[in-house]
């Protein structure tokens, strides 16, 4: 860093500190102002609550006094008819009883219109007259409408305490005017005004609108005092403020700036006010403000000190950078002289330094490298050249893996560049947490090693693995198959009559022939399988990951061997001439028992020689029993094809009954009437048909025959209302023309579509849900119904189940057989029945064989039954006879 740059840095530093100090000042000011506003708002809320309580208390107290004085008129009417009959002693007794009803009163008295005492609630010797304030008697007697009136406070002659007089005008029956007067001590009203809260910090007054103070409590003095108002009268305040809200004004008693709130009482011209001096409301805020200001000053001083220390540190760093720059210049000269690529990353894995050789090794990075650039950016650029056709996710995974390796560098990694060069990358961590990357071009070294390895493990003529590599890979395949529980196969291939071709046409032609054979063998197997040349005209194919079932594994191996026989029998074009050839294939399975590679290879060799004995051009398995099973299965497939051509299949029907015993329909089941073996059970041929392509034409035959039966049953009593369900295989359902085939059969035979029910398995439907739903909806709109067969054995999703246009569910017989024996099966069946009932689907229970099973199903609401308890599958003529015969009660 130059001297001018260092000075600019200091100017920026102190500028930032200045901005921070200004911002701190503004923030503290805003904080204090907001705190003050909140404190005043809280004080206003307190004033309003206090004034509202005082209003309620005073209204209740004055109302009780008003009611007491008004009730004396009723007592007088009942006891005295007029002035002439006025009984002072009796009336005094009545007043004493009334006065006891209100503890605030000193006494109650009756005065005539001149102010003379007529009767009182205290003895006459103790009270000879009532000394009312000047003008109070006239004001009370002159009211147009009698109501309670309150006097100004004055000293009592009896008790020497400040009192208020409350009065109400009365009239006797003869019209004589009287005045009922009650004396109330000011102290009694203080407790009402303060609501039992002691002496608060809020000033409270009981006053008139024109500004006459009747009662006041000053918080600063701590008691009720006969002070005068220090604020304007309320009628003047009303001209400047809305009395429905508090306002800022001098306190009513102390005159200090305060929040004031006034509430009118029930009686005209009387008010209650509450005043909270702002000095008291802001007491808590001042304490917080001192703390905030102290913290702000401390923070400001800290910022200034930090600026001082930063200035000193910057000067030291400037000197250190000058020393470092000189050292770096020397290091750059050394790094640029290296023959290997070099790059240094800092602790944040950002580029700190690199040499020219690094850019030469990775030319696509030229112009993009920069000091401070995160090395992840380098990987994100390199991945497009290392994985040019890869998916975006694969590229992200590659970058993530390389970044993870950089964080924990171990050893070296080799990269193959797009131009074919191989670069060995060594990564080592630096003491400061960074990374040193050294790149060596090892292309020549690896090419030499590859050539040595190829000579050791590959055949020079065909490029296929040789015997050495074959035995190594076959040994690994045997161990892997045994460990994984799968099977594999070895195909030992020997070319027929190759020696004759080699001797007659020469070794060059023979070599060309072997190269073409090698290419055809590689094309005939999967990417994970192995093709090797043992030598001469012998080749070996290793098939891995075959099914664990020996028969299935042998079938797949035989299929590959047949494919090889076919490919190697095709004509060869060599030097402009056409040549023909064939081969002998011996096969052996491995993985069933522990075996070595040599043992498996020997077994396949023995099997190949058996083919040679039979004139070649064929396949033979080492295991004779397996060969017998394969031959038997092949004969069964041929017989099934012949059965389709000769129409040897029959349809048997198993009835389905309702809960009440009514036959509702039947399930169509295929049977094979073999001319030699008799009636063949479906378990012996359905699996073979499904493995091949025969299940599709067999399914078409069943569908066509079922539609013909439904068409024939129309109009026949006992048969026309029956439905017929047909099982549909997965291979048949996935045929592109399946929907058209069903509709054609219905149209061709004239069968009623709503009587045809197609049974699909859960696994079939979920294999391709969208395709299943589309096909089912097409047929459902034409009236065809669907049932979900073997329900409960698969992994149906309830979300998909609600989208399928199903008519009924069929409970798999594996659950029905154990009803009442296994609790879990009971729960599963109950759950299926409950779910079907909620989804408004019918339920058919398969395999019902006992009365206990039927009773359990009936108890839990099963709709239909199918099983040996009711009827076994039977030929069509027996079924039709059963339906048209008189009804027989079911068990």
Architecture per CATH, domain 189-283, reads as 2-Layer Sandwich (3.30)
604: pLDDT strictly greater than 80: yes
Contact 149, 140 (CB under 8 A): yes
CATH topology for the 461-622 domain = Alpha-Beta Plaits (3.30.70)
What pLDDT, on a 0 to 100 scale, did the predictor assign at position 7?
Answer: 78
Q: What is the DSSP letter of 683?
A: G
What pLDDT, on a 0 to 100 scale, did the predictor assign at position 796?
Answer: 53
CB atoms within 10 A of CB 660: 8
- What is the residue whose two structure tokens read 């074959």? 470
1: pLDDT strictly greater than 70: no
What pLDDT, on a 0 to 100 scale, did the predictor assign at position 79?
Answer: 66
What pLDDT, on a 0 to 100 scale, did the predictor assign at position 197?
Answer: 60
Confidence of residue 665 (pLDDT cuts 50, 70, 90): very high
189-283 and 338-448 agree in CATH topology: yes
CA 244 – CA 47 distance, rounded (Å):
13
List, in order, residues 6 or more apart from 861 with CB less than 8 Å away.
833, 837
HEC string for 299-323: HHHHHHHHHHHHHHHHHHHHHHHHH
What pLDDT, on a 0 to 100 scale, did the predictor assign at position 330?
Answer: 61
Which has the minimum average pLDDT: 30-44, 54-68, 372-386, 740-754? 372-386
Confidence of residue 221 (pLDDT cuts 50, 70, 90): low
HEC string for 208-277: ECCCCEEEEEECCCCEECCCCCCCCCHHHHHHHCCCCCCEEEECCCCCCEEEEEEEECCCCCEEEEEEEE
614: helix, coil or strand?
coil
Q: Is the dihedral of CA 194, 200, 204, 206 positive or negative?
A: positive
Q: Read off the tokens for 610.
A: 């058996």
What pLDDT, on a 0 to 100 scale, did the predictor assign at position 785?
Answer: 94
Which has the minimum average pLDDT: 23-37, 603-617, 696-710, 785-799? 785-799
3-state helix, strand, coil in the chain (%, to 5): 50, 20, 30
Q: What is the mean pLDDT of the segment spanning 515-539?
A: 89
Closest CA to 759 of 732, 729, 736, 726: 726
Give the model confidence (pLDDT) of 621-635 as tens digits. Answer: 887 665 566 667 778
Confidence of residue 243 (pLDDT cuts 50, 70, 90): low
Contact 739, 727 (CB under 8 A): no
573: helix, coil or strand?
strand
Which has the minimum average pLDDT: 260-269, 314-323, 692-701? 314-323
Q: Most confidently modeled of 316-330, 409-423, 579-593?
A: 579-593
Contact 131, 49 (CB under 8 A): no
282: pLDDT strictly greater than 90: no
CA 518 – CA 507 distance, rounded (Å):
16
CB atoms within 10 A of CB 204: 28
What pLDDT, on a 0 to 100 scale, did the predictor assign at position 629?
Answer: 60
Q: What is the mean pLDDT of the segment spanning 543-550?
A: 87
CA 773 – CA 779 distance, rounded (Å):
10
List, in order, residues 6 or more apart from 622 with CB less than 8 Å away.
586, 587, 588, 589, 603, 604, 606, 607
What pLDDT, on a 0 to 100 scale, did the predictor assign at position 334?
Answer: 57
Give the model confidence (pLDDT) of 290-326 as tens digits. Answer: 888 888 888 888 888 887 888 788 778 877 777 776 6
What pLDDT, on a 0 to 100 scale, did the predictor assign at position 657?
Answer: 92
Phi, psi of 290 (to 5 degrees): -65, -40
What pLDDT, on a 0 to 100 scale, did the predictor assign at position 630?
Answer: 62
418: helix, coil or strand?
coil
Contact 478, 600 (CB under 8 A): yes
666: pLDDT strictly greater than 60: yes
CA 614 – CA 184 distance, rounded (Å):
140
Helices (H) and strands (E) in the chain, counts: 28, 34
Q: Taking the domains of the chain in order of start, what are their residue ranges?
A: 189-283, 338-448, 461-622, 644-884
Label the pairing between strands 785-791 and 756-761. parallel
What pLDDT, on a 0 to 100 scale, did the predictor assign at position 81?
Answer: 62
Q: Give domain 338-448's CATH superfamily.
A: PAS domain (3.30.450.20)
Architecture per CATH, domain 644-884, reads as Alpha-Beta Barrel (3.20)
Q: Read off the tokens for 384.
A: 């497009």
890: pLDDT strictly greater than 70: no
34: pLDDT strictly greater than 70: yes
List, in order, residues 6 or more apart from 382 with CB less than 8 Å away.
362, 364, 365
Closest CA to 10 of 324, 319, 308, 305: 308
586: pLDDT strictly greater than 60: yes
Mean pLDDT, the chain, integer? 82
List, in order, residues 6 or more apart from 653 with CB less than 8 Å away.
666, 667, 668, 669, 724, 873, 874, 875, 876, 879
What pLDDT, on a 0 to 100 scale, did the predictor assign at position 593?
Answer: 82
What single string gives the DSSP state of each residue in 31-82? HHHHHHHHHHHHHHHHHHHHHHHHHHHHHHHHHHHHHHHHHHHHHHHHH-SS
DSSP E strands in 420-514: the ranges are 422-429, 435-441, 487-495
**What spatial distance separates the first Cα and last Cα of the chain, rounded to whole Å?**
104
CA 120 – CA 97 distance, rounded (Å):
11
What pLDDT, on a 0 to 100 scale, did the predictor assign at position 652?
Answer: 92
Contact 67, 266 (CB under 8 A): no
CA angle 311, 317, 321 (to 5 degrees): 145
Q: What is the DSSP letter of 95?
A: H
Judge if pTM exceeds 0.75: no
Residues in the chain: 891
What single string gives the DSSP state of each residue in 713-781? HTT-TTTTT-EEEEE--HHHHTSTTHHHHHHHHHHHHT--GGGEEEEEEHHHHHHTHHHHHHHHHHHHT
List, in order, residues 6 or more apart from 326 with CB less than 8 Å away.
none
Give the model confidence (pLDDT) of 94-116 as tens digits. Answer: 888 888 888 888 888 888 888 88
CA 843 – CA 472 distance, rounded (Å):
58
Q: What is the mean pLDDT of the segment spanning 367-394?
A: 78
Q: Classify 227 in phi/psi space as left (phi over 0), alpha (psi -120 to 50) or beta.
A: beta
604: helix, coil or strand?
helix
10: pLDDT strictly greater than 70: yes
Contact 842, 863 (CB under 8 A): yes
Which has the minimum average pLDDT: 199-208, 698-707, 840-849? 199-208
CA 321 – CA 323 distance, rounded (Å):
5
What pLDDT, on a 0 to 100 scale, did the predictor assign at position 491?
Answer: 92
Q: What is the mean pLDDT of the segment spanning 214-233?
A: 67
698: pLDDT strictly greater than 80: yes
- What's the alpha-carbon Rg for the chain, to the nearest Å? 56
Q: What is the mean pLDDT of the segment spanning 42-58?
A: 85
């Amino acid at each position: 860093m130059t001297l001018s740059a260092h000075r600019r840095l200091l100017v920026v530093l102190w500028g930032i500190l200045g901005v921070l100090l200004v911002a701190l000042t503004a923030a503290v000011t805003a904080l204090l102002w907001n705190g003050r506003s909140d404190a005043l708002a809280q004080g206003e809320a307190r004033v309003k609550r206090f004034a509202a309580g005082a209003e309620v208390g005073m209204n209740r107290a004055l109302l009780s006094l008003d009611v007491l004085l008004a009730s004396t008129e009723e007592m007088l009417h009942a006891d005295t008819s007029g002035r002439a009959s006025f009984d002072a002693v009796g009336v005094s007794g009545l007043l004493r009883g009334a006065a006891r009803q209100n503890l605030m009163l000193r006494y109650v008295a009756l005065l005539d219109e001149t102010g003379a005492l007529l009767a009182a609630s205290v003895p006459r010797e103790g009270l000879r007259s009532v000394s009312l304030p000047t003008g109070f008697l006239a004001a009370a007697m002159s009211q147009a409408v009698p109501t309670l009136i309150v006097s100004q406070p004055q000293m009592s002659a009896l008790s020497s305490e400040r009192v208020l007089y409350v009065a109400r005008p009365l009239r006797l029956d003869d019209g004589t005017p009287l005045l009922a007067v009650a004396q109330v001590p000011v102290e009694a009203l203080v407790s009402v005004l303060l609501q039992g809260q002691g002496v608060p910090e809020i000033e409270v007054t009981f006053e008139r609108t024109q500004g006459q103070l009747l009662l006041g409590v000053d918080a600063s003095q701590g008691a009720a005092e006969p002070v005068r108002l220090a604020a304007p009268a309320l009628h003047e305040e009303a001209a400047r403020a809305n009395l429905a809200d508090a306002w800022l004004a001098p306190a009513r008693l102390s005159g200090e700036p305060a929040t004031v709130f006034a509430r009118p009482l029930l009686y005209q011209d009387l008010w209650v006010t509450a005043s909270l001096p702002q000095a008291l409301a802001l007491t808590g805020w001042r304490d917080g403000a001192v703390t905030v200001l102290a913290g702000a000053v401390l923070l400001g001083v800290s910022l200034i000190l930090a600026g001082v220390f930063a200035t000193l540190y910057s000067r030291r760093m400037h000197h250190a950078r000058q020393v470092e720059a000189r050292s770096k210049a020397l290091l750059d000269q050394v790094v640029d002289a290296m023959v290997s690529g070099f790059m240094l990353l800092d602790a944040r894995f950002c580029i700190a330094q690199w040499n020219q050789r690094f850019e030469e090794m990775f030319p696509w990075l030229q112009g993009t490298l920069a000091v401070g650039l995160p090395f992840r950016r380098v990987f994100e650029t390199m991945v497009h050249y290392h994985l040019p056709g890869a998916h975006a996710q694969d590229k992200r995974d590659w970058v993530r893996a390389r970044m993870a390796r950089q964080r924990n560098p171990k050893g070296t990694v080799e990269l193959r560049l797009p131009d074919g060069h191989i670069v060995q990358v060594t990564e080592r961590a630096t003491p400061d947490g960074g990374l040193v990357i050294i790149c060596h071009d090892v292309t020549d070294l690896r090419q030499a090693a590859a050539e040595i390895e190829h000579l050791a493990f590959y055949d020079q003529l065909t490029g296929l693995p040789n015997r050495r590599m074959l035995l190594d890979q076959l040994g690994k395949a045997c161990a892997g198959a045994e460990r994984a529980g799968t099977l594999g196969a070895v195909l030992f291939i020997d070319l027929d009559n190759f020696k004759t071709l080699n001797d007659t046409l020469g070794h060059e032609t023979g070599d060309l022939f072997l190269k073409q054979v090698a290419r055809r063998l590689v094309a005939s197997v999967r990417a994970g399988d192995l093709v090797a040349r043992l030598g001469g005209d012998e080749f070996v194919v290793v098939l891995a990951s075959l099914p664990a079932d020996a028969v299935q594994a042998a079938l797949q191996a035989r299929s590959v061997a047949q494919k090889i026989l076919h490919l190697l029998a095709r004509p060869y074009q060599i030097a402009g001439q056409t040549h023909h050839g064939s081969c002998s294939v011996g096969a052996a399975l491995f993985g069933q028992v522990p075996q070595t590679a040599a043992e498996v290879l020997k077994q396949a060799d023995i099997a190949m020689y058996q083919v040679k004995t039979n004139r070649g051009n064929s396949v033979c398995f080492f295991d004779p029993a397996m060969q017998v099973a394969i031959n038997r299965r092949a004969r069964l497939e041929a017989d099934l094809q012949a059965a389709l051509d000769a129409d040897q299949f029959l349809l048997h029907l198993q009835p389905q009954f309702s809960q009440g015993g009514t036959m509702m329909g039947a399930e169509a089941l295929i049977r094979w009437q073999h001319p030699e073996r008799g009636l063949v059970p479906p378990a012996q041929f359905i699996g073979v048909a499904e493995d091949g392509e025969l299940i599709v034409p067999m399914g078409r035959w069943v569908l066509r025959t079922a539609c013909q039966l439904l068409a024939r049953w129309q109009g026949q009593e006992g048969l026309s209302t029956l439905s017929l369900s047909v099982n549909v295989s997965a291979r048949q359902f996935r045929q592109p023309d399946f929907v058209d085939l069903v509709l054609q059969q219905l149209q061709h035979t004239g069968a009623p579509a709503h009587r045809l029910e197609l049974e699909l398995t859960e696994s079939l439907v979920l294999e391709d849900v969208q395709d299943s739903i589309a096909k089912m909806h097409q047929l459902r709109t034409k009236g065809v119904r669907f049932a979900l067969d073997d329900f409960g054995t698969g992994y149906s999703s309830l979300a998909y189940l609600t989208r399928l246009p199903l008519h009924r569910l069929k409970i798999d017989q594996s659950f029905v057989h154990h009803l009442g024996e296994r609790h879990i099966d009971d729960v599963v069946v109950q759950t299926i029945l409950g779910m079907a009932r909620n989804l408004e689907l019918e339920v058919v229970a398969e395999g019902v064989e006992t009365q206990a099973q039927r009773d359990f199903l009936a108890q839990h609401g099963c709709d239909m039954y199918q099983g040996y308890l009711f009827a076994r599958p039977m030929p069509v003529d027996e079924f039709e006879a059963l339906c048209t015969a008189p009804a027989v009660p079911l068990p």
